Structure 1
């Protein structure tokens, strides 16, 4: 994700409401998120679909790696031959 620029990437809710279309265009064009404030505090973040997808993918990837590391640390590991046998058994039984 790109760095947030306080001078142009933070906008009050009222200003956002008045110019939603231009805010959407700006986020799409620059790739910068837009922080929307309410009563001087951050209330929401507007991201481009591409940035959102990237964040979701990254989060899922990290969670998957963490799950694998936890399984390995708990001794839940399999050798190559064990995995091949499990896959062959699964194919033979017709389960996918």
Structure 2
């Protein structure tokens, strides 16, 4: 996901309401998030769907890595060979 451009990607709610279609088009074209403000404070972020899905996939991968690191630290992990054997055993059934 591209980083937010502070001079272009922050809009007050009133302006967003008035030009929703154009702002959504901009988000889709630039792939940058749009920060919506209300009374000078951030209240929402509008993301392109593809960017959102990519972000979710990255979060899931990071969670899986953290789980694996915890298992390794606790000594409850299995070797690559054992994991492969288990998977191949399941596939053959």
What value does the CA root-mean-square deviation take over the aligned residues? 1.7
What per-residue deviation string (whole Å, max 9, x for no partner) do you get for residues 36-91 of structure 1?
A: 0001000000000111011101100000000001001100122355432x443x56
- Change in CA separation of 1:70 and 1:21 when aligned onto 2, cut-off 3 Å: same
Gaps of 5+ in 2: none
Following superposition, the deviation at residue 32 of structure 1 comes to 1.1
Following superposition, the deviation at residue 4 of structure 1 comes to 1.2
Whole-angstrom distance in 2 between the partners of 1:27 and 1:80: 43
Structure 1 stretches (4+) deviating beyond 2 angstroms? 79-83
What per-residue deviation string (whole Å, max 9, x for no partner) do you get for residues 10-33 of structure 1?
A: 000000011111110000011111
Which of structures 1 and 2 has the bigger CA Rg?
Answer: 1
Gaps of 5+ in 1: none
* 1:74 pairs with 2:74: yes
Number of residue pairs matched by the alignment:
91
Whole-angstrom distance in 2 between the partners of 1:26 and 1:14: 17
What residue number does 1:54 align with? 54
Whole-angstrom distance in 2 between the partners of 1:4 and 1:81: 44
What residue number does 2:30 align with? 30
